[in-house]
Amino acid sequence: MKKQGFFLLLLLIGSTLVVQSCKDDDDDDTMDRQEFTTQASASNLLEVSASALADTRSSNQTVRNFAAMMVSDHTQANAELQVIASAKGLTLASGLTTTQQQQVNSLSSLSGSAFDKAYMSLMVSSHQNAVQLFDSAEDQVNDGDLRTYARNKLPALRAHLELATSINTSLNP
């Protein structure tokens, strides 16, 4: 009798651990819709803020053209995100994160080819992060409209990353 009680206790503990383990795994497969909205809008703000500096700081027409495209595309992307967020009671990032502000401040102290190199390096890393975020959100965000938004923005983000990488490679061989 004592052996049966002991085995039942072990079975109960084991099944509790399995259920808890499965529950934790499910949490890793979802992304909160507010979290995605905040991160996506902050990403757009970084692209716009850093790119706006290129008009006066860059010495390279290719970099200035890329920056103008970033301002246009990411301003539009944020406007589209704002429409979705407003309809769902979500909020966009109110400004740059501390790290992003430091990145923009660092760029603002540069000009000419030093700016071009630093800016394009930032555009590569920020677009790598954005592609990763939007790729995860396409499958994991817990909102259909935001998943669609992420899916629709991924091709442009990948194209931006490819172009940024190409320009960066030419400036930083």
Express each pLDDT in 99-115 by its tens digit.
999 999 999 999 999 99
- Under the banding of pLDDT at 50, 70 and 90, the label for residue 26 is very low
Angle at 68 between CA 66 and CA 72, to 5 degrees: 115
Q: Cα–Cα distance between 133 and 127 in angstroms, integer? A: 10
CA dihedral 77, 80, 85, 87 (to 10 degrees): 180
- Under the banding of pLDDT at 50, 70 and 90, the label for residue 19 is very low
Q: Is 90 exceeded by the pLDDT of residue 93?
A: yes
Quote the DSSP letter at residue 95: S
Q: Cα–Cα distance between 64 and 51 in angstroms, integer? A: 8
Query: 3-state DSSP call for residue 40?
Result: helix
Residue-level length of the chain? 173
For residue 154, what is the enclosing H or E element? helix 144-171
Cβ neighbour number for residue 81 with a 10 Å cutoff: 21
Q: Is 60 exceeded by the pLDDT of residue 17?
A: no
Angle at 68 between CA 155 and CA 112, to 5 degrees: 120
Comparing 27-31, 38-42, 137-141, the range with the smallest average pLDDT is 27-31
